[in-house]
Amino acid sequence: MPRSSRAPASTWPRPAAGKTDPKTAPAPAPVGQRCYTAAAVGTLLEVKNLKTHFVTRSGVVRAVDDVSWDVSESETVALVGESGCGKSVSALSIMRLVAGPAGRIVGGQIRFKGRDLLRLSEEEMRHVRGREIGMIFQEPMTSLNPVLTIGRQLTEGLEIHLGLAPAEARRRATELLGMVGIPDPERRLRQYPHQFSGGMRQRMMIAMALSCSPSLILADEPTTALDVTIQAQILELMKDLSRRFGVAMLIITHNLGVVARYADRVNVMYAGRIIERGTARELYANPRHPYTLGLLRSVPRLDEPRRARLDPIEGQPPDLMRLPAGCAFTPRCGFSVERCRVEAPPLCEVNAGGHVSACWEADNLDRARTASRT
Ligand SMILES: Nc1ncnc2c1ncn2[C@@H]1O[C@H](COP(=O)(O)OP(=O)(O)OP(=O)(O)O)[C@@H](O)[C@H]1O
Ligand code: SF4
Ligand SMILES: [Mg+2]
């Protein structure tokens, strides 16, 4: 969906840029209340030349290697790629939660609402986490506390970040559970995570991520562990809530099929780098990198008649400790030419609307595809 046609942002309650003192923060509006503001759609998060490396005994893993991308207010952006390409490390870098001492952000900037998160103190970062940026993980059981009730886990953040009194936090927690489609929320608040199904736990994670009305939610493979029907329900719920409350989202997934419906823009990542970026519509209609083409052929397409066969991408992703000198995709690429082996292609504009690709053959893919069909 084009960014300009998105629903206006809600003020449920929209935090001001910078640190907010919970004591002086405005009282939260009731869940579901909408306020149509003419807020300008500006850049909310800007990742610039980010490098996150892990120093191991066998060498340096360049998990995120000079990567730049951004998310605008109220926008849904996807980060897509195969396992091990650096998606989760990118999200953890934004939250400054990369596992040290092996893992370190060694370069770049992460600007959120104009502030460089890499320069904030740990206390300031604690405020950003949960209050300004919410996070939804792939497996909720790893981030939920098994010995605390669902209610306590929801009210804790509301009391700490928003300064709500216990009774008010409880009321709001009930609203939140109802809002994410959990029936009988009063009773469910008294239960423990193991009493929830997988889909309900993921709904609970969404409620937690939204609870302090952040401006951005990072959702790392939010539905991978769920069956297909529940996946679709959860994604629809996330899309609906992000629109209603004007929350921007970064959806991390290995499935390009998932993002077609839910993302405005897509960043395709390979071996620690962004290799293609564009609007979801443009990327689907006119992919300009062989890896993106491969990803599209390996998943069912909603906009094409059902194909009898899906084609997985042949070969293995490269070892991030020993990346080749030229294009990292060369050993798996059916379009490679001599230059690919020696010179790494930079991200270059291939079409209007910010469509960029890092491929020497980006302009020749159509010709080659047409030739292969005849
Ligand atoms: N603590 C660590 N020590 C060493 N290497 C690590 C560590 N954490 C991640 N890596 C490496 O960083 C690279 C990127 O990992 P990341 O978790 O971001 O992958 P991903 O794209 O999220 O994959 P998946 O789809 O499987 O979740 C991988 O090669 C991984 O092995
Ligand atoms: S630069 Fe060469 S090897 Fe890399 S994706 Fe393009 S054609 Fe393939
Ligand atoms: Mg991951």
The phi and psi torsions of 333 (rounded to 5 degrees) equal -100, 130
Q: Which pLDDT score, from 0 to 100, does residue 224 have?
A: 79
The phi and psi torsions of 164 (rounded to 5 degrees) equal -75, 145
Among 80, 76, 44, residue whose Cα is nearest residue 264: 76
Q: Which pLDDT score, from 0 to 100, does residue 226 have?
A: 80
Nearest Cα residue to atom 16 of ligand 1:
86
Give the integer Cα–Cα distance in Å for 32 and 181.
13
Nearest Cα residue to atom 24 of ligand 1:
83
β-bridge mates for residue 54, sequence order = 61, 103
HEC assignment per residue over the chain: CCHHHCCCCCCCCCCCCCCCCCCCCCCCCCCCCCCCCCCCCCEEEEEEEEEEEEEECCEEEEEEEEEEEEEECCCEEEEECCCCCCHHHHHHHHCCCCCCCCEEEEEEEEEECCEEHHHCCHHHHHHHHHHHEEEECCCHHHHCCCCCCHHHHHHHHHHHHHCCCHHHHHHHHHHHHHHCCCCCHHHHCCCCHHHCCHHHHHHHHHHHHHHCCCCEEEEECCCCCCCHHHHHHHHHHHHHHHHHHCCEEEEEECCHHHHHHHCCEEEEEECCEEEEEEEHHHHHHCCCCHHHHHHHHCCCCCCCCCCCCCCCCCCCCCCCCCCCCCCCCHHHCCCCCHHHHHCCCCCEEEECCCEEECCCCHHHHHHHHHHHHC
Ligand nearest to the CA of 357: 2
Nearest Cα residue to atom 11 of ligand 1:
63
Per the listing, tokens 């599209």 go with: 296
Q: How far is the CA of 253 from the centre of ligand 3 (A)?
A: 8
Ligand nearest to the CA of 219: 3
Contact of 361 with 291, CB cutoff 8 Å? no
Q: Which pLDDT score, from 0 to 100, does residue 36 have?
A: 30
Q: Per-residue pLDDT tens, the chain, 374 aa: give them.
A: 333 333 333 333 333 333 344 444 444 444 433 333 334 469 999 999 999 999 999 999 999 999 999 999 999 999 999 999 999 999 999 999 999 899 999 999 999 999 999 999 999 999 999 899 999 987 777 788 999 999 999 999 999 989 999 999 999 999 999 999 999 999 999 999 999 998 899 999 999 999 999 999 999 998 877 887 888 888 889 989 899 999 999 999 998 888 888 899 999 999 999 999 999 999 999 999 999 999 998 877 655 566 556 788 888 999 999 998 999 999 999 999 999 999 999 999 999 889 999 999 999 987 656 554 44
Q: How far is the CA of 273 from the centre of ligand 3 (A)?
A: 15
Copy the structure tokens of residue 212. 């302090």
Q: How far is the CA of 167 from the centre of ligand 3 (A)?
A: 37
Nearest Cα residue to atom 31 of ligand 1:
84
With b for 16 or more beta-carbon neighbours within 10 A and e for fewer, the 18-39 pattern comes to eebeeeebeebeebeeeeeeee
CA angle (355, 360, 366) in 5-degree steps: 65
Nearest Cα residue to atom 1 of ligand 2:
359
Non-local (6+) Cβ contacts of 159 within 8 A are 165, 166, 169
Give the integer Cα–Cα distance in Å for 219 and 71.
13
Whether ligand 1 lies within 6 angstroms of the CB of 102 is answered as yes
Whether ligand 1 lies within 6 angstroms of the CB of 56 is answered as yes
Q: How far is the CA of 92 from the centre of ligand 2 (A)?
A: 29
Between strands 103-112 and 265-270, the pairing is unpaired
Contact of 348 with 360, CB cutoff 8 Å? no
Q: How far is the CA of 113 from the centre of ligand 3 (A)?
A: 25
What are the Cα distances from residue 368, in Å, to 77, 304, 351? 30, 21, 18
Ligand nearest to the CA of 338: 2
Give the integer Cα–Cα distance in Å for 116 and 47.
9
Pocket test for ligand 1, best of 50, 60, 89 (most atoms within 8 A of CB): 89
Pocket test for ligand 2, best of 335, 343, 357, 363 (most atoms within 8 A of CB): 335
Copy the structure tokens of residue 238. 């996330």
Nearest Cα residue to atom 10 of ligand 1:
63
